[in-house]
């Protein structure tokens, strides 16, 4: 074997190992991102539910006009709107879930 062949084999081996490591890292990073996006979507759903529940309590005759509940309801609404600015993150997993459900024959769940 010539010196050039040895260098080429070494470079090819190093390149293959490097590409494999980059692939594994990217796959793990993507899995973590999708997991965080899924959790973020759950947080958005819980906040929507809390805001709706709080509005229902506020509209009860017994509590209607209570300033503390009004402030809490406004806070929950503004927090919910703020979470809406990150919609592009948690939609990463919603699109994937809808595609899987459509493939399985079920209709996608709409929120």
Per-residue pLDDT tens, the chain, 111 aa: give them: 899 999 999 999 999 999 999 999 999 999 998 888 888 888 888 888 888 888 888 788 877 778 888 888 888 888 888 888 888 877 777 755 555 566 655 545 444
Query: Can you tell me the distance from the alpha carbon of 74 to that of 64, in angstroms, rounded to the nearest whole number?
Result: 14
Evaluate whether residue 111 is within a structural domain: no
Evaluate whether residue 32 is within a structural domain: yes
Tell me which residue range forms the domain holding 62.
Answer: 3-104
Evaluate whether residue 89 is within a structural domain: yes
* Measured CA angle at 21 (ends 1, 27), to 5 deg: 145
Evaluate whether residue 91 is within a structural domain: yes
Evaluate whether residue 26 is within a structural domain: yes
Q: Measuring CA to CA, how many Å separate 91 from each of 26, 45, 78, 88, 100?
A: 20, 12, 20, 5, 14
Query: Can you tell me the distance from the alpha carbon of 15 to that of 8, in angstroms, rounded to the nearest whole number?
Result: 10
Evaluate whether residue 109 is within a structural domain: no
Evaluate whether residue 62 is within a structural domain: yes
Nearest to 79 by CA among 50, 101, 38: 50
Q: How far apart are the first and last CA of the chain?
A: 65
What is the model's pTM? 0.58
Evaluate whether residue 54 is within a structural domain: yes
**Domain count across the chain:** 1
| Contact between residue 44 and residue 96 where contact means Cβ atoms under 8 Å apart | no
């Amino acid at each position: 074997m010539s010196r050039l062949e040895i260098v080429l084999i070494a470079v090819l081996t190093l390149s293959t190992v490097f590409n494999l490591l980059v692939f594994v890292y990217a796959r793990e990073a993507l899995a973590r991102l999708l997991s965080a996006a899924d959790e973020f979507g759950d947080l958005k759903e819980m906040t929507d539910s809390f805001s709706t529940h709080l509005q229902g309590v506020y509209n009860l005759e017994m509590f209607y006009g209570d300033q503390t509940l009004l402030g809490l309801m406004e806070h929950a609404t503004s927090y919910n709107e703020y979470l809406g600015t990150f919609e592009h993150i948690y939609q990463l997993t919603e699109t994937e879930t809808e595609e899987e459900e459509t493939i399985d024959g079920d209709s996608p769940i709409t929120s």
